[in-house]
Amino acid sequence: MQVYMNLRKIGGNVLLAICDCEILGKTLREGKITFHVKEEFYKGAKVDIEEAIDMIENSTIVNMVGKKIVQKAIEKGYVHPEAVLNIEGIPHAQIIKL
* Full set of structural domains in the chain with CATH: 2-96 (3.30.1860.10)
Interval 43-79: pLDDT, tens: 999 999 999 999 999 999 999 999 999 999 999 999 9
The backbone torsions φ and ψ at residue 26, rounded to the nearest 5 degrees and listed phi first, read -85, 160
The four Cα atoms 67, 69, 71, 77 give a dihedral, to 10 degrees, of -160
pTM, whole model, 2 decimals? 0.95
Average pLDDT of the chain is: 97
Residues 6+ apart with CB under 8 A from 57: none
CA max distance for the chain: 35
**Model confidence at 98, in pLDDT bands (50, 70, 90)?**
confident
